[in-house]
Amino acid sequence: MSAFYPLQGFKKSRFAALAVFVVAAYLVVRFLFSPAAPHYLTEKAARVDLETSVLATGALQATRQVDVGTRVTGQLKSLRVALGDHVRAGDLLAIIDPVLPENDLRSQQANLARLEADRRAAIARQKKSKLEFDRQKGMIRGDATSRRDLQAAEAQLTADEESIASLDAQITQACIQIETAAANLGYTKITAPIDGDIVAILTREGQTVVASQIVPVILKLADLDAMTVKTQISEGDVTRVRVGQTVSFSILSEPDKGFSGVLRAVEPAPQSYSEPATAAAASSSTTSGPSNAVFYNALFDVANPDRLLRIGMTAQVSIRLGDARNVLAIPAGALREKIADGRFLVRVLGRSGATATRRIRTGVNNHIQVEVLEGLSEGEEVVVGERLASAPSGAKDEP
């Protein structure tokens, strides 16, 4: 009997150890694999200043820009300006070879002189015919001449008077031709139509320009004291853009320097709509559905006294649609579905850790924060997301 008791005690200890192991394994499995309680990411409803705007890209161009050309054909004999020069209205810019216009003017002047000489001769003939007619009228009273001679004298007088009238018309036409020739000669001297800077030279000295069908452009002149920003607004935003709205923009070389203006025009049709080459394509896309993005041009002006802005620069434009000062706001990510009455659902975290769904009415929304008009109080926490809580055993969260 003395050997039985130790063996029985050994079996009991093994059973107890096995029981402890099973309980421990159960606790470990339950601890590791049981679902973790949700951990909410929240933000408090707070008062802020909100601004909503439309972001777009634009290009700068001069408000006043003129393509300076010539209306006469000839060789560009002299170019009096260089790229970047500042000129005033009336300054001489270039000279076209004036030989042909000068010859044409002299030819028209000679033609006028010939017509005037012909008129003087016609006047002399008319005077002679008048004397003959008067003599025939005197002689017919005394039956000293025939009725036929009187009628012949009268016809000659009429013909000579009509010849003078014809020459008068030709002289008027010749004067007009002289004025045209003088104008063409004046066109050989190209002057600046406005004050501005030479921003492009398209024709060099020695080149021949032909003005038979279109006016060839010699150079481009622009007033850089004021610039226009042509901004492309997407069709998704164009209905919210109005004339008179405040606009701000920056340029790539000066991202920290802001420029401002006021929207003065929003074009009613996209730029491609007015281009003849794409009019048919635009018409077909209207019926069959658009294949490309549609943009509308919005224009505003900005002063450029220091000439920092240049033609062709890219502008990062922000069109201010509206703002709200010291309003209650929450992150836009807290908004859930929109319900029938136009309100949004949000989840609010209570002090006990439970969440409740609220209906709120919103105002200004800039897609980052949204104004709350009704349904929340300042300081309440709204749920913007959630993640699994970390296990107390120190297990690492999965990335």
The sign of the CA dihedral 330, 332, 338, 341 is: positive
Fold of 98-187: Helix Hairpins (1.10.287)
Residue 367 pLDDT:
79
Chain centroid offset of residue 287 CA: 26
pLDDT below 70 — which residues of the chain?
1-38, 274-291, 387-399
pLDDT, position 17: 66
Determine the number of helices (DSSP H) and then strands (DSSP E) in the chain. 4, 17
What is the structure's pLDDT at 99? 93
Which pLDDT does position 156 carry in this prediction?
A: 92
SS3 of the chain: helix, strand, coil, percent, to 5:
35, 40, 30
Could you tell me the pTM of the whole model? Answer: 0.64
| Assigned superfamily of 55-62+223-320 | Efflux pump adaptor protein, beta barrel domain (2.40.30.170)
Give the model's pLDDT for residue 141.
81
Q: For residue 281, with 0-12 CB atoms within 10 Å meaning exposed, 13-18 middle and 19 or more buried, which class applies?
A: middle
CATH of span 39-51+324-388: 2.40.420.20
Query: What pLDDT was estimated at residue 31?
Result: 56
- Cα radius of gyration rounded to whole Å, the chain: 47
pLDDT tens per residue, range 51-101? 888 899 999 999 999 999 998 899 999 999 999 999 999 999 999 999 999
DSSP 12-29: HHHHHHHHHHHHHHHHHH
Q: Judge residue 149's burial from the number of C-beta atoms within 10 Å of its C-beta, 0-12 exposed, 13-18 middle, 19 or more buried.
A: middle
Domain residue spans of the chain: 39-51+324-388, 55-62+223-320, 98-187
